[in-house]
Amino acid sequence: MVKVKIETHDLNVWFGSVQAISRLNLEVYENEILSVIGPANSGKTTFLRALNRMNDLNPNYKMSGLVEMDRKDVSGLDVELLRRRVGMVFALPLPLPLSIFDNVAYGVRMHGMRGGQKLSRVVKESLKQAYLWDEVKGRLDESAFKLSGGQQQRLCIARTLAVEPEVILFDEPCSGLDPISTSKVEDAMVKLKEKYTIVLVTNNVKQAARVGDRTAFFLSSELIEVDKTEKIFTAPDDSRTDGYIRGKFG
């Protein structure tokens, strides 16, 4: 029996008067990769940012319904603790203007871990999990901006892992990357689902097919369908899903 890690119940989200998500009921299982596909402005990223409450930063944000993690309403949790448990990797590689080491150590330091061997170990382990360690081990003191785009994105993954989250949200993580970097990031994701629960928003339908255990299709702020990835890509229930996957619109 699969365990439900995150679920939404009748989730509605508005930004000002624009509804970004309508009556969303969706479950994310533990240790799976759930891919979320759909055209621009279909509510994919808003869904993602509802899970770690990054939407709260937008002053026009309003919601109704429920987002639960481990059966607890996330709006009742301490937001900083929630974001430690639900990490996020953004669409563009966004290193902080710090050294490679300090980027990875940033979150852990903010949570009170001070210098020393333990911190170095966390940084090393995280970089290894993100398949970046071998490329940067000799130059941890260099600025993170000296890395290539693909390396920067894996650095961002390492930075998220260092905080030891339970869930990782990927928001179109490969949209700015070349094919080789993309496949490295995808390899990392597949490996990571052994320990983490992953939600992957992607504009790349093929990527969803490659790495997702299940795939959800969003259209115009609504969830059209969600099912096992093979089923979505071979025999979807809804003709609109089929149309989107075949590139007929979006």
Partner 1 sequence: MRNSKQRQKIAFFLLFLATLLIVIPVGLIVVIIIQKGLPAINWQFLSDMPRKGMRAGGIFPAIVGTLYLVTGAIIFALPIGLFAAIYLSEYAKENFLTRVIKLAIVNLAGVPSVVYGLFGLALFVVFFKFGASILSGSLTLGIMILPIIITASREALESVPQSFREVSLSLGASKWQTIKNIVLPNAIPGILTGTILGLGRAAGETAPILFTVAAFYLPRLPASVFDQAMALPYHLYVISTQVPNVDEKIRYGTALVLLAMVLFMNLIAIIIRYQFRKKKKW
Where does this chain bind partner 1 (CB under 8 A)? 52, 54, 57, 59, 80-81, 83-84, 87-88, 90, 92, 94, 96-97, 106-107, 110-111, 143, 145, 156, 159-160, 163
One DSSP character per residue, the chain reads -PPEEEEEEEEEEEETTEEEEEEEEEEEETT-EEEEE-STTSSHHHHHHHHTTGGGGSTTEEEEEEEEETTEEGGGS-HHHHHHHEEEE-SS----SSBHHHHHHHHHHHTT--SHHHHHHHHHHHHHHTT-HHHHTT-TTSBGGGS-HHHHHHHHHHHHHHT--SEEEEESTTTT--HHHHHHHHHHHHHHTTTSEEEEE-S-HHHHHHH-SEEEEEETTEEEEEEEHHHHHHS-SSHHHHHHHTTS--
Shorter beta-carbon distance to partner 1: residue 144 or 208: 144
Q: How far is the CB of 246 from partner 1 (least distance, A)?
A: 34
Q: How far is the CB of 30 from partner 1 (least distance, A)?
A: 21
5 or 84: whose CB is closer to partner 1? Answer: 84
Least Cβ distance, residue 13 to partner 1 (angstroms):
18
- In angstroms, what is the minimal distance from the CB of 144 to partner 1? 9
CB of 159 to partner 1, least distance (A): 7
Output 170 or 217, the one with its CB closest to partner 1: 170
The pair of three-digit structure tokens given for residue 186, joined into one six-digit string: 């995808």
